[in-house]
């Protein structure tokens, strides 16, 4: 059996046993990349399946079925459009961890022995896994020596990482293919997808929300401002563009509450979140910020004016309750336009609604976001991943 026939046989098996993945595989143009030095297993860029002949011939049929499903999952999860600034080798490993646990749970073929699988990563996004791998690597970049560090097939960028128009086109194209594959799979399986596949399809089609965009929208909607050429937009000046900045109709005062209890006492989210808030400062969207550090009680308060660099320094480490934070805000800062509360939401005492717009920035395990936010008494939640 030659390589093309072997791939066709595995693809046919995938269509019969797991039509959702099989239909997605039909969309890919197969290309022999044996002479491409980048590819020593398989790879996909959303539209093509590149294969290394010796690798394909070394696999048993059920292993090849798994690898083909693995490759279409890279595309379905849009790994070919989401890498951005991340290192490609580590991104591939993170993406493999995100995929393999799902495929094993769906009982698709058999994962090759070299495949990457850790239960702690199943259900997490590639971005979240990448952050964990980045924190744990201790400066070791040896995973950059191979495009496919997981041995089950890699993913290539579908376009330049910052080509937003092409990224949007590729993602819209993939959403259509996912919907078509789900419909075909339902038709082949008496109108009902297996529960694990149905859950996977639902997750794939759920709109992904950029927490940074939601943060800026929340801040913008909490302010009343106008544009003025007398106060240029400082973020655009280094790029050589002079554009009007914003002026408020009063002091634009925001509150950030950092949950500094023992369960979330982590410095990295503070730094990344502060970087986003500093961007709002640069554009003149905020005039004054009050930062409150609290566990079960308020532990410290810092104030920042426009032009200051926001640096979050958590103080605390005890239990968790929100009541005291909101009481302090209502007593001392009733003029505040918005409140952003950074927390893992592991709490039972929310306190009273401050009657000021509240945004809950929830970080921790994103798999628990729906559970933790189901009974919020007030405010709007966003899931923050760094």
The mean pLDDT of 229-239, rounded to a whole number, is 62
Of 102, 43, 107, 119, residue with least CA distance to 75: 43
Secondary structure (DSSP) of 150-190: TSS-EE--SS-TT-HHHHHHHHHHHHHHHHHHHHHHHHHTT
* pTM flag (> 0.95): no
Report CA torsion sign: 155, 159, 161, 164.
negative
Residue 327 structure tokens: 């009481």
Helix (H, G, I), strand (E, B) or coil at 35: coil
pLDDT of residue 173: 92
**pLDDT at position 369 over 80:** yes
Domains of the chain (ranges, CATH numbers):
3-205 (no CATH), 211-383 (3.40.50)
Report pLDDT for 47: 95
Q: Worst-scoring range by mean pLDDT, 146-160, 221-235, 369-383?
A: 221-235
What 334-339 contacts at long range (C-beta under 8 Å, 24+ apart), as own/partner pairs, is 335/251, 335/253, 336/253, 336/254, 336/255, 336/290, 337/222, 337/223, 337/252, 337/253, 337/254, 338/218, 338/219, 338/222, 338/254, 338/255, 339/254, 339/255, 339/256, 339/257, 339/379
Q: pLDDT (tens digit, 9 = 90+) per residue, 201-222? A: 777 666 665 666 777 777 766 6
Tens digits of per-residue pLDDT, 119-173?
998 888 888 899 888 888 777 777 676 777 778 899 999 999 888 899 989 989 9
Rounded Cα distance, 99 and 360, in Å: 29
């Amino acid at each position: 059996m030659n390589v093309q026939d072997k791939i066709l046989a595995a693809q046919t098996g995938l269509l019969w046993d797991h039509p959702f993945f099989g239909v997605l595989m039909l969309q890919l143009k197969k290309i022999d990349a044996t002479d491409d030095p980048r590819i020593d297993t398989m790879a996909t860029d959303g539209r093509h399946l590149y294969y290394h002949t010796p690798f394909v011939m070394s696999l048993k049929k059920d292993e090849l079925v798994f690898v083909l499903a693995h490759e279409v999952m890279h595309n379905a999860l849009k790994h070919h459009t989401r890498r951005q600034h991340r290192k490609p080798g580590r991104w591939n490993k993170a993406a493999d961890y995100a995929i393999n646990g799902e495929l094993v749970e769906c009982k698709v073929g058999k994962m090759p022995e070299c495949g990457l699988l850790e239960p702690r990563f199943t259900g997490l996004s590639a971005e979240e896994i990448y952050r964990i791998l980045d924190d744990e690597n201790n400066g070791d970049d040896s995973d950059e020596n191979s495009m496919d560090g997981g041995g089950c097939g890699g993913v290539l960028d579908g376009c330049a990482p910052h080509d937003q128009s092409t990224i949007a086109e590729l993602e819209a194209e993939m959403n259509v293919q996912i919907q078509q594959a789900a419909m075909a799979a339902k038709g082949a399986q008496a109108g009902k997808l297996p529960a694990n596949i149905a859950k996977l399809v639902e997750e794939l089609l759920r709109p992904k929300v950029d927490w940074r965009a939601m943060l800026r929208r929340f801040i913008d909607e909490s302010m009343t401002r106008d544009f003025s050429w007398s106060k240029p937009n400082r973020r655009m000046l280094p790029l050589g563009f002079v554009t009007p900045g914003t002026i408020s109709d009063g002091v634009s005062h925001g509150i950030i509450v950092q949950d500094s209890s023992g369960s979330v006492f982590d410095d990295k989210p503070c730094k990344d979140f502060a970087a986003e808030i500093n961007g709002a400062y640069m554009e003149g969207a905020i005039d004054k910020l009050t930062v409150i550090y609290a566990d079960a009680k308020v532990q410290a308060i810092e104030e920042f004016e426009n032009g200051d660099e926001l640096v979050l320094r958590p103080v605390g480490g005890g239990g968790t309750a929100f009541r005291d934070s909101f009481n302090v805000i209502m007593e001392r800062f009733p003029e505040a336009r918005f409140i952003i509360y950074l927390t893992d939401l592991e709490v039972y005492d929310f306190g009273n609604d401050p009657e000021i717009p509240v945004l809950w920035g929830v970080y921790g395990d994103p798999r628990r976001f729906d559970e933790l936010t189901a009974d919020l008494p007030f405010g709007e939640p966003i899931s923050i991943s760094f």
